[in-house]
Amino acid sequence: MTDIAHGTSEPLPAARWEDGFLSGNGHHGALVFGGPNDERVVVTHHTLVRPNGSENAQPPKLADQLPLLQDQLLAGELHAAETFTDGRDLQWVQPFHPAFQIRLRTAPGEEPRHYRRSVDFTTGVVKTVCDDRSSRVFVSRADDVIVQHVTAADLDIALDHRLPSAPTALAVGDGAVLTPDGALLTLRVRYPGSAMAYTGVTLVVPAGGRATLTPPGVRVEGAESVLLLTRVLRHTGELDTTSQAHALRELLPDGEDPYDALLERHTERHRAAYERVTLDLDAEPAERALCGSELLARPDSSALLERLFAAGRYHLLSASGLFPPRLVGLWTGDWNTAWSGAFTNDANLNLQTASAAAAALPEVTEAHASLIQRQLSDWAVNARTVFGARGVVAPAHTDGESGLTYHFNREYPLHLWTAGADWLLKPLVDHDETRGTRDPRTAHALAQVALFYEDFLDRTDQNGHLVVVPSYSPENRPANASWGTINAAMDLSAARHALLTAAAHHPGSPEADRWRALAQRIPPHRINADGALAEWAWPGLDDTYDHRHLSHLYGVWPLDEINPYDTPELAAAAHRALELRGAENDSAHGHLHHALVAARLRDGERVTHALGQVLKGDFFHASLMSAHYPDREVYNADAAHTLPAVLIEMLVQSTPDRLVLLPALPAAYPKGRLLGIRTRFGAALDLTWSPRQATALIRPTRTHRVELRTSSGTRPLDLVAGEDHVLSLEAW
């Protein structure tokens, strides 16, 4: 097997910002596009959300109406939840938006003889070469600054806020001053009708030549090269740009090349994270050498999957820091970002971060945890205000600032969704299992979820089972009822999992005994007349199969509640539900969610089909960032970030007590290597396979017995901390 490409390139400029190559450090983002004489770097930052009236929005005060709604739903009034509202219109969270673009203009010359742009996943450097000119851009993880190095003798530089859909009422002020080392450019933007603003600061440092002011920018002439350092800050009032400029100058080392020094500090952190995991599908070397757009035209190519796996981990890492990725990751070139560019919690966020634990990206999990910890107090307000309960309830949408539930309407009664906290905490639990330690912050949050269920689960059915009422399966409805109903399968699985997991994190406590007892009273799943796991376990609620979400299969993925080994009958019903599920509007997240569930159910053919829908549906831009719909409609990170998780799940699955090897390997990939995977029983794993033979090298960090599952059978596996264990499988 030969080395795979850890990057991608294109021979033509990116005329569309969607095709621009990306760099980021989880705080700042850089999107590089434009022509040879007009290169543009769109600057983004995770904190940049535009006030839209929702910044002070509160959850609806509905707790006193809850008992009546429960009575009505239990009495068979299956549209009663439509009036469980305070009458407000749908209110979106504050939209994410770009800050500005750094424009680098050179005088038009002869038609370029040579042009190439590329991004190196191991360093995060986006490079453009045009004849004797070059540009290199990266976003430093070490110094939190956008670094840009340009070799061009003459260059016009300006900060430009005029990006598509920018509000005309923005209050914009720009400035340019000469400094002893070059120039300082500033751009201040205040939102209409708000005290909130943001300011961009760019330090321009030429090597040789001279700088002159060309308001609102600067012209550099006769330089060997130019270094630009850029930061953007969101603030109220005035920002001291002088101190910000001083902070940027402090990053410049004495006596060595500043770009190289900045890159070395950044690369030390970025490369270590990126290189932990590698996927090699034994692709043809000639295909590996193709540019990204050529590979995308070969959807059956192993080299395409290799590159999308590498790009997906790169983009996921680059978008995660202050927060995990938004719907658009960390990048957009348009102020009119679809669905506000929010963190959409009822599917998208967890799908995008699904590979974090196994793919050895604790940086992503920590960003995910950071978002939750910032908002946990808001989650408590949701529980108290909507449900009159202790504990916490997560919102379905957030802009990163508020964790309050206020985005809902009749067709999307997202304020009824109570499974969100368990769903969002599951990746943190997985992460703790890979490390073998329990984060006390996660344990506290789990206890708060359990407290909510103690108060909320106060109704029973005729068999003495607890009833989840009201209940909601995002974003679907029964064929014969309204959206807000009873005993959605996701709610049953989430409540049971939350209570048992909270009890496990608080061993020996009296609360743990109560939580386990409560979990035992939650009703079982229902199998409907089609032999499928019903999306609503309450009798009389008919399934709606043609929908993009697969919330009812939460027990299969990401939970381990339903699997072919311990619960074969439920697994068969879940598989039947998957067979019957339509794709509705062909959203990328729907196809890849389908693939994740299929992998857990050991259906390699269904994984192949779901992957094919995305690979053959023109979902990827030349940047290898993805779209939400086929034909590259609506810039969206779901496919790009979720695809690595699908490829891992079809090769390796683990629980704290089980290892499953090659459960759903498509026939199209008979040979390969997956290196550096982390398991939930505390071991790193390298897997190599070829037709009829596979080898797994397991490096455990704790002593433990696990169950090994392969297609040829089951056996116990005794692992000793610090001792490598080699498995040879002749017939996997």
234 found inside a domain: yes
Whole-angstrom Cα distance, residue 360 to residue 275? 9
732: pLDDT strictly greater than 60: no
Question: Do 259 and 308 have their domain in common?
Answer: no
Q: What is the mean pLDDT of residues 271-293?
A: 97
Residues 216 and 80 both lie in one domain: no
Which helix H or strand E contains 512, and what residues bound it? Answer: helix 510-520
Residue 420 · residue 346 · CB < 8 Å: yes
The answer on 721 and 689 residing in a single domain is: yes
For residues 18 and 154, state if they share a domain.
yes
pLDDT, tens digit, 9 for 90 and up, residues 6-60: 999 999 999 999 999 999 999 999 999 998 889 999 999 999 999 999 999 999 9
CATH of the domain at 133: 2.70.98.50
Burial class of residue 126, CB neighbours in 10 A (0-12, 13-18, 19+): buried
Question: How far is the C-alpha of 453 from the C-alpha of 498, rounded, in Å?
Answer: 9
- Burial bucket for residue 667 (CB in 10 Å: 0-12, 13-18, 19+): exposed
Q: Which of 259, 274, 289 is the last residue of a domain?
A: 274
Query: Is 293 inside any structural domain?
Result: no
Same domain? 435 vs 352 = yes
Q: Do 507 and 522 lie in a common domain?
A: yes
- Binned at pLDDT 50, 70 and 90, residue 120 comes out as very high
Three-class DSSP category at 14: strand
| Residue of 230, 219, 229 lying closest to 176 (CA atoms) | 219
Q: Residue 70: inside a domain, yes or no? A: yes
What is the strand order of the sheet 278-280 is part of? 278-280, 672-678, 683-690, 693-700, 725-729
pLDDT exceeds cutoff 90 at 584: yes
Please compute the mean of the pLDDT values over residues 615-636 and round it to a whole number. Answer: 98
Q: Which residues form the domain of 246?
A: 7-48+97-274
Is 377 part of a structural domain of the chain? yes
* Predicted local confidence at residue 175, as pLDDT: 95
Going by C-alpha positions, the residue among 314, 312, 313, 265 that lies closest to residue 120 is 314
Residues 114 and 90 in one domain: no
The size of the chain, in residues, is 732
- Residue 514's pLDDT is 97
Residue 361 and residue 226 share a domain: no
> Is 147 found in the same domain as 88?
no
Mean pLDDT for the stretch of residues 610-616 = 97
- Rounded to whole angstroms, the Cα distance separating 104 from 150 reads 9
Categorize the per-residue pLDDT at 113 as very low, low, confident or very high, splitting at 50, 70 and 90.
confident
Per-residue model confidence as pLDDT tens digits over 531-570: 999 999 999 999 999 999 999 999 999 999 999 999 999 9
For residue 642, what pLDDT is reported? Answer: 98
Within a domain: 121? yes
DSSP sequence for 383-439? HHHHH--SS----SEE-SS--------SS--GGG---HHHHHHHHHHHHHHHHT---
Q: Is residue 287 part of a domain?
A: no
Tens of pLDDT, residues 700-729: 999 999 999 998 899 999 999 999 999 998
Q: What is the rounded distance in angstroms from the CA atom of residue 602 to the CA atom of residue 176? A: 61
> What domain count does the chain have?
3
The CATH number of the domain holding residue 568 is 1.50.10.10
Quick check: 688 and 698 in contact, CB under 8 A?
Answer: no
Interatomic CA distance for residues 423 and 473, integer angstroms: 13
Buried b (16+ CB within 10 A) or exposed e, 707-722: ebbbeeeeeebebeee
**18 and 139 share a domain?**
yes
Going from the C-alpha of 503 to that of each of 109, 392, 558, 656, 667, the distances in angstroms are 70, 16, 19, 16, 42
Mean pLDDT over each residue of the chain, to the nearest integer: 96
pLDDT band at 110 (very low <50, low <70, confident <90, very high): low
User: Which pLDDT score, from 0 to 100, does residue 107 have?
Assistant: 81
As a whole number of angstroms, the distance between CA 8 and CA 287 comes to 12
The answer to whether 555 and 569 are in contact (CB under 8 A) is: no
Q: What's the average model confidence in pLDDT over 168-191?
A: 96
Q: Could you tell me the CA-to-CA distances from 99 to 35, 105, 324 in Å, in that order?
A: 20, 19, 19
Q: State yes or no: pLDDT of 288 exceeds 70.
A: yes
Rounded Cα–Cα distance for residues 457 and 666 (Å):
43
Which residues touch 95 (CB under 8 Å, ≥6 apart)? 49, 50, 52, 335, 336, 337, 340, 341, 342, 399
Which of 223, 257, 274 corresponds to the end of one domain?
Answer: 274
Residues 481 and 357 in one domain: yes
Angstrom distance (rounded) from CA 149 to CA 136: 5
Q: Are residues 166 and 253 in the same domain?
A: yes
Q: Are 23 and 136 a contacting pair, CB within 8 Å?
A: no
- Asked, for residue 413, whether it belongs to a domain, the answer is yes
3-state SS string over 70-128?
HHHHHCCCCCHHHHCCCCCCCCCCCCECCCEEEEEECCCCCCCCCEEEEEECCCCEEEE
* pLDDT of 510 over the 80 cut: yes
pLDDT at residue 1, as a whole number: 44
In a domain, 667, yes or no: no
Q: What is the tally of helices (H) and strands (E) in the chain? A: 16, 29
719: helix, strand or coil: strand
